């Protein structure tokens, strides 16, 4: 199906490496806030650092279709990346924003800012780390923390073919309540915006974050614990 599987693998490994370098920069104190977006031109499966491949990924089909399977440096489950799936990473200093050391609050703060930036009616936080629209998942997210830095990265689906998830991923054993037992193709949706618009709005909201704004959102989010 895909002839240049090694080239695809190396390209996606490079994208993940760049995210790790952002994290290391903030962890070392060289920066306070960094953000980047990217999109995979071909399907690739990416799993969390502790994911059981045999339990979550249809490995035979990935091999037959020459779809690379990569492991990222954060938690979370298995996802399929590809055209129409905008990937983003935000790295923030925990020294500047200590409120974000609370895991649940940090997801609410960061995803809340993204919801506000995109300005899509009905878009909301769902489960522990998702964004949903019309009851369908349009964004999955994961984090990793260091001594002084937090990296939050995820997907924003704009024109993604949900059949790819059905083809390469098994149905997860652990599911958020709002999924209601739906299979991948019935659970995954898309944002009603082109990827270029989503990218521009996302990069703008994290380009120059105002410290007071983050503190206020974090305090408000923490009250809901």
pLDDT at 4: 66
- Name residues whose C-beta falls within 8 Å of residue 147's C-beta, 6 or more positions apart in sequence: 27, 94
> How many structural domains is the chain composed of?
1
Is the pLDDT at 10 greater than 90, yes or no? no
Q: Which long-range contacts (CB under 8 A, 24 or more apart) does 47-50 make?
A: 47/71, 47/72, 47/77, 47/78, 47/79, 48/72, 48/74, 48/75, 48/76, 48/77, 48/78, 48/142, 49/73, 49/74, 49/75, 50/75
Region 192-204: mean pLDDT is: 93
Percentage of the chain beyond pLDDT 70 is 88
pLDDT at 207: 60
> In the chain, count of helices (H) and strands (E)?
8, 9
Q: What is the CATH number of the domain that holds 47?
A: 3.30.930.10
Is the pLDDT at 203 greater than 90, yes or no? no
Region 118-128: mean pLDDT is: 96
Is the pLDDT at 169 greater than 70, yes or no? yes
pLDDT at 216: 41
Inter-helix orientation angle 103-118/211-222, to 10°:
120
Please give the residue range of the domain that contains residue 153: 5-222
**Angstrom distances, CA of residue 40 to CA of 14, 163, 168, 187, 224:** 11, 16, 16, 21, 36
CB 205 within 8 A of CB 113: yes
**Helix (H) or strand (E) segment spanning residue 126:** strand 124-126
Tokens of 218: 């974090």
Is the pLDDT at 193 greater than 90, yes or no? yes
Residue with tokens 């009905």: 122
pTM score above 0.85: yes
In angstroms, rounded to a whole number, what is the distance separating the alpha carbons of residues 23 and 42?
A: 25
Of 78, 110, 84, the residue nearest 97 (C-alpha): 110
Is the pLDDT at 2 greater than 50, yes or no? no
């Amino acid at each position: 199906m895909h002839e240049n599987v090694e080239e695809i693998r190396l390209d996606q490994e490079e994208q993940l490496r760049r995210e790790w370098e952002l994290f290391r920069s903030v962890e070392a104190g060289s920066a306070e806030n960094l953000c980047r977006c990217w999109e995979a031109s071909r399907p690739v499966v990416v799993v969390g650092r502790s994911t059981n491949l045999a339990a979550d990924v249809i490995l035979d089909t990935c091999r037959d279709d020459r779809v690379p399977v990569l492991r990222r440096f954060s938690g979370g489950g298995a996802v399929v990346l590809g055209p129409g799936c905008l990937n983003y990473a935000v790295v923030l200093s925990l020294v500047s924003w200590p409120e974000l050391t609370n895991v649940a609050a940090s997801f609410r703060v960061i995803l809340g800012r993204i919801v506000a930036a995109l300005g899509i009616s009905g878009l909301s936080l769902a489960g522990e780390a998702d964004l949903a629209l019309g009851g369908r998942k349009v964004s999955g997210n994961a984090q990793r923390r260091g001594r002084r830095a937090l990296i939050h990265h995820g997907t924003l689906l704009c024109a993604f073919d949900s059949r790819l998830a059905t083809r390469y991923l098994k149905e997860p054993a652990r599911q958020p309540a709002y999924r209601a037992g739906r299979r991948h193709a019935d659970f995954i949706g898309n944002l009603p915006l082109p990827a270029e618009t989503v990218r521009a709005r996302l990069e703008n909201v994290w380009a120059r974050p105002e410290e007071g704004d983050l503190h206020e959102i974090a305090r408000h989010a923490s009250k809901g614990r």
